Structure 1
Amino acid sequence: MRAAHTHSRTLLHADLTANPREAWGWHGRTLGAPVTTAEGPAWLRVASAPTDQIIDTFWNGTIEAQRSLPPSIPRPKLLRWHDWTDRTWTYRSELHEYVNADTLAAHAVVTTPPSIPSPWWTAARTALKTIATVNTTRVTIQPEFLAWAMPHYLDISASDHTRHPWTTAHGDFHCANLCAPELHILDWEGWGLAPAGYDAATLHTYSLLTPATSADITRELAHLLHGAIGRYAELTVITELLHAATNGTTPALAEPLRRRAAAILAQR
């Protein structure tokens, strides 16, 4: 991936900054780093996938977000991109506008309460409201997966997906993809349709190991998390993360997820 990043800098006429910080994605399939270009500072992200295993939803998410989402949603602008192949692998080089801000956390699972100023929550509520109104045929989570996974992990039916509204979601709305003190939303690979409240539920569920942060999210995004719609969104995210935990991803969340699911189900 480092060799691919070097090649991408040549393709997109970018130079690595001094002492750059690397940002690795899931299982090392993406690599980002700050660069400089003739236009100024930027962020170069390289994604990789076996050529015969490309999933269009995630592969094209960033480009489709640039084309389809209103500019009022705070996010780095995609400046240009380039695809190329190396034997059996395909790569996408994406040059993004540089955001001079840190994410709320280094990892999706929050273990230390981040400092979140009050105006940030106002911006987050506005952004989530706008995202939900975007018209798309993209799908973040498949109903077919929920039909199998909800009975398997929570011993409940997933039939609720036909009764509750689905709206457009960022799809990975957690502290490692959210900058502060000014809100910038990163990583638009998986945006698309999901149960209403899905993004708020994602942010809350990843915070279960940090009660103070969990309480803040519950208070600030109460309109998205309370009621039957919010409970279903949260059960959706819990189902996904329990599935991930059984495959070795975020295992520390497994027991808190089960306890949270039990508490939600007791309210139904």
Structure 2
Amino acid sequence: MYAPPNDPAQRGRMTAAHHRAAVQLGVTVTGPETWGWNGRTLGRPARHPAHGDCWLRLDSAPASRRPDAAWEGTAVAAAVLPGVPQPRLYAVDEHRTGGALYHAELSAYLSSPVCSADPVLRAPLELPGRWWASLRTSLAAVSTTVTERVTLRRAWLDQVFPVFLGLPPPVEVEFTAAHGDLHWSNLTRRGPVLIDWEAYGTAPRGYDAALLLAYSLLVPRTAARVRAELAHLLDTPWGRVAQLTAAAELLENASRGDHPELVPPLRAFATALGRAPTSPAVS
């Protein structure tokens, strides 16, 4: 769930680190706390004397295993995708203390709310055609970039397909650049602006569209809209691989306690895909 850490001491450390980052980056915090999944991140509105309204987001990890790849995603995406709507990144601050490393990013504040407070969609969304057209343009631009960053590895596909789908791994997989975490909490209602680029990297072609569809399965009406608007990415041999990949990933996450309510529709979703005619891309 999107909530503070269960450990009060950890919450205190995150709060203190966020305050330190605000001082270092010269901002005044102006709004309430917003915690990420299981208290992993902490964000708050802030005000900068030059940039105006901003968003200050803090992440943390043990100092012994610094997640460079994850934390560089936002800066890399901003550099290689200037035409894709995303929050402008103003500054970054890192601080090591007490065996932990804290990474803070100061970005432009977005006035538009996100489509859902939770990655899993739970109520129908009525989004205009221009919203979907913009998303298609953004996903096309992302997929054409070249990056050495990796979102999903082939070895992981080989492992999870048999375990979570009961299927052999795909024989062929085409990898392209992807946002890497495209769900309803990372898309704004106006635009859309795509946020939280820390997972930017290579994944099976069509993965972003497939993941958004998988997160929509509790709302069949919106899931059908995703299928229709992103059919050019989903209704292909590569799109089938991507959809199975998204199902396997969310089922693996559910095995660790994340979004268990998705398990029944994900299993039905994967079963239907598994019955589809074979293609050159899938064994």
- Structure-2 residue corresponding to 1:120: 131
* Cα distance, 1:190 vs structure 2: 0.5
DSSP-derived class of the 2:188 partner? strand
Identity of aligned residues (%): 39
Q: Does 1:150 align with 2:161?
A: yes
Amino acid at match of 1:198: Y
* Cα distance, 1:210 vs structure 2: 0.3
Match of 1:168 among 171, 177, 196: 177
- Structure-2 residue corresponding to 1:8: 21
1:177-213 Cα distance to aligned partner (Å, 9 max, x none): 0001221000000010000000000100000000011
Q: Distance in 2 between matches of 1:194 and 1:14?
A: 36
Match of 2:86 among 57, 75, 85: 75
RMSD: 1.1
DSSP-derived class of the 1:60 partner? helix
Q: Does 1:139 align with 2:150?
A: yes
| Cα separation, partners in 2 of 1:174 and 1:181, compared to 1, 3 Å | same
Amino acid at match of 1:218: R
Gap runs ≥5 in structure 1: none
Q: Is the 8 A contact 1:76 1:97 kept in 2?
A: yes
Match of 2:121 among 102, 106, 110: 110
Gap runs ≥5 in structure 2: 1-13, 278-283
- Structure-2 residue corresponding to 1:65: 77
Q: Is the 8 A contact 1:117 1:181 kept in 2?
A: no
- Structure-2 residue corresponding to 1:50: 62
- Structure-1 residue corresponding to 2:190: 181
Q: Does 1:263 align with 2:272?
A: yes
* Cα distance, 1:35 vs structure 2: 0.3
1:92-134 Cα distance to aligned partner (Å, 9 max, x none): 1110011111001110000111231211000000000000001
* Cα distance, 1:176 vs structure 2: 0.5
| Cα separation, partners in 2 of 1:125 and 1:142, compared to 1, 3 Å | same
1:194-244 Cα distance to aligned partner (Å, 9 max, x none): 000000001000000000110000010000010211111000010011100
* TM-score under structure 2 length normalisation: 0.90
1:137-192 Cα distance to aligned partner (Å, 9 max, x none): 111012111111111111212143xx231110000111100001221000000010
Q: Is the 8 A contact 2:60 2:103 kept in 1?
A: yes
Alignment of 1:228-247 (within 5 A): 228-247=237-256
- Structure-2 residue corresponding to 1:211: 220
Amino acid at match of 1:143: R
Q: Does 1:38 align with 2:58?
A: no
Alignment of 1:86-105 (within 5 A): 86-105=97-116
Amino acid at match of 2:221: A
* TM-score under structure 1 length normalisation: 0.95
1:82-101 Cα distance to aligned partner (Å, 9 max, x none): 11111200001110011111
- Number of aligned residue pairs: give it: 263
Q: Does 1:29 align with 2:51?
A: no
Which consecutive aligned stretches of 4+ in structure 1 deviate over 4 angstroms post-superposition?
A: none
Q: Does 1:254 align with 2:283?
A: no
Q: Is the 8 A contact 1:30 1:48 kept in 2?
A: yes
DSSP-derived class of the 1:27 partner? coil
DSSP-derived class of the 1:184 partner? coil
